[in-house]
Structure 1
Amino acid sequence: MYKDRLDLYSQIEKKRKRPLIAYVTSSRQNNGAGIISADVIPEFCNQIKLIPDKYKKIDLLIVSNGGDPITVWRIMSLLRERFEHIGVLIPYQAFSGATLLALGADEIIMHPFSNLGPVDPQMQSHSPNGTVHFSADDITHYMEFVKNEVGITDQEQKERAFELLCDKVTPLDIGVARKSTILSMSLGEKLLGTHMQDPNTIKSISSTLNKSFYHHGYPIGKKEAIALGLPVAKANKDIENIMWNIWSDFEKEMKCNDPFDPLSTAMEQDAFAEKCGIVNKHDFSKETYATVITNIPVGVNLVYYELLHAALESRNAHSGYYTTSQLSISKEPNLNLHYSITQICGKWSRR
């Protein structure tokens, strides 16, 4: 919880002699994940306003699977307008857009368990046949496969292969994917250019992160990040331990290791747990599952719950992106359960 992390923030600030802001988005599976998105910008403005003018350096601790690259640029631009030196602390995973954010730092402090990742944009194409996930490189590799591996060189046949591709991914989506790749390359170079001088190094790092790993989830560890030419700081065990403790507390609060389960979530509510014959909601387990199913009233049962998807905080203030949802549990006479979830509201809240 936030109050438990305050002392950890103080410890890092004393050792680093600068303020710290922490930005974490949840990686909880099934219904609880969060992403970097534009609605966090007002919260960053508030955090920056609370920092006394005497400080010219700032640390940003980040854990996230990524999100909107333009928001990343806005965040780093806000920090650059106010501070002369930016450190990014990565206790665990900082993939995709979070890696882009790290590219804008003068100094990157990585825990031995942490990872950066490729920044190649991932796209979705929707059609009557379903949703396809792809990147611009996937299109390129498909056409190369048709030409070099299958051996199709006739122009008419290659055009037919492209038409078959367009049955799965629309031409407009292909254009957007290509444009997004160019944007990612450009932002990577701009972010690196805020603290690096050599244009060749800048282009090399940005190009490598966009094109060289062949999987968007490829984990780039500390040694590989150094080999890429990123400004990764030397190890400091004290800082690493504090970083990990901060992340561990977030991980527990956001339940990142507990995939969202409707019935388990309902059982967290005392009234519903008691209705199902569980006096202590923490006693719910696979051993008590049959009892719970039997005791749930036939018909529609409504349960309300709240999830924390993202948090931005410092010693000065905490804000979180919380959603409140209605969980409907419908039980049939044959004991079959059906679930439906309706999100009632979602917003940043300063607490």
Structure 2
Amino acid sequence: MDAENRFQYLERLEKLRNSKVLVYFSYTPLDDSILVPLYKQLKALGHTRKIDLILHSYGGAVDTPYKLVMLIREFCEEFGVIVPLVAKSAASMVVLGADEVVMGPVSELGPIDPLVKHPIYKDLWVPVQAIRYCLDYLQRTITNSPDPELATFVINPVLNKLDPWLIGDYEKSLKASHQYAEALLSRYMLKESPAQVSGVTHALTEGYFSHGYPIGRREARELGLKVTDADGELWDVIWSLYLGYEELFNQMECVD
């Protein structure tokens, strides 16, 4: 699919949704580097009634989604997120700051488990929940061992490699994700259902053990999120755009 075809599909989507459509499609972690290019696009667009964001991301930094939502909402009255395939972790946090999430039969959200950079391997991003589970596992191993002294002796070298400052930073990220989720839900997605905010926040930040757990549109709706089903022509256009951007992404990788 060439640029002209993508533009035609975007125009059709804007007519179907009566909105202006932006696209974020990436396989690299979502971080603050998106903010300046996004601001330039929004400034060129100007204030408009409704903005839809096509979002394809596996997650990223804990603070970025909140900044992204606040920035987009400076330029519109209504904000929708369209998920063709995946909006995981930090990208799911963006959804909580929308008025609705548009999902098709293969669309997935995920638990809110932000990523942090590994202190040694700088190109490696680690789900912060993994640090907590590691510490829980080590504690259980010592507690449940028939010989706690031996278990402590074996595990101490591992514990000694865990920097207390880093552990504190990971724990802070977990608390921040809870705070951001609650703030976005209460202000936007669930502003008319405040009694649901606490439960949805807990479910998304602590209710799933797998970082990649797939939350489809039915489960998202059962959680309490405002889900708009993408069917018929709407879904055909959204899916065609996903395939077009996937093709473009693969071409760019081949050039690199």
Q: Which moved more, 1:227-236 or 1:164-173?
A: 164-173
Say whether 1:117 aligns with 2:110.
yes
Deviations 1:176-235 (CA, angstroms, capped at 9, x unpaired)? 111110111111112212212344422221221121211111111111111111111134
Deviations 1:325-344 (CA, angstroms, capped at 9, x unpaired)? xxxxxxxxxxxxxxxxxxxx
CA distance in 2, matches of 1:151, 1:80: 57
Q: Which residue of 1 aligns with 2:242?
A: 247
Change (3 A) 1:247 1:50: same
Q: Which residue of 1 aligns with 2:63?
A: 70
Which residue identity is paired with 2:100? E
1:1-351 residue pairs with structure 2 within 5 A? 1-25=2-26, 27=27, 34-53=28-47, 55-123=48-116, 125-126=118-119, 133=126, 135=129, 136-143=131-138, 145-146=140-141, 149-150=144-145, 163-195=156-188, 196-197=190-191, 198-255=193-250, 305-306=255-256
Which residue identity is paired with 2:7? L
Instruction: Give the TM-score taking structure 1 as reference length.
Output: 0.63
Q: Which moved more, 1:41-50 or 1:165-174?
A: 165-174
CA distance in 2, matches of 1:132, 1:58: 30
Change (3 A) 1:45 1:243: same
Q: How many residues align?
A: 249
Change (3 A) 1:219 1:86: same
CA distance in 2, matches of 1:37, 1:124: 11
CA distance in 1, matches of 2:171, 2:87: 24
Change (3 A) 1:160 1:192: farther
CA distance in 2, matches of 1:127, 1:5: 41
Q: Is the 8 A contact 2:89 2:111 kept in 1?
A: yes
Change (3 A) 1:69 1:124: closer
CA distance in 2, matches of 1:174, 1:158: 21
CA distance in 2, matches of 1:236, 1:52: 30
Instruction: Give the TM-score taking structure 2 as reference length.
Output: 0.85
Q: Is the 8 A contact 1:188 1:206 kept in 2?
A: yes
CA distance in 2, matches of 1:18, 1:12: 8
In proportion to residue count, which structure has more helix? Answer: 2
Q: Which residue of 2 aligns with 1:283?
A: none
Which residue identity is paired with 2:163? T
Larger Rg: 1
CA distance in 2, matches of 1:160, 1:219: 39
Q: What secondary structure is seen at the aligned counterpart in 2 of 1:36?
A: coil
Q: Percent identity?
A: 27
RMSD: 2.8
CA distance in 2, matches of 1:213, 1:184: 14
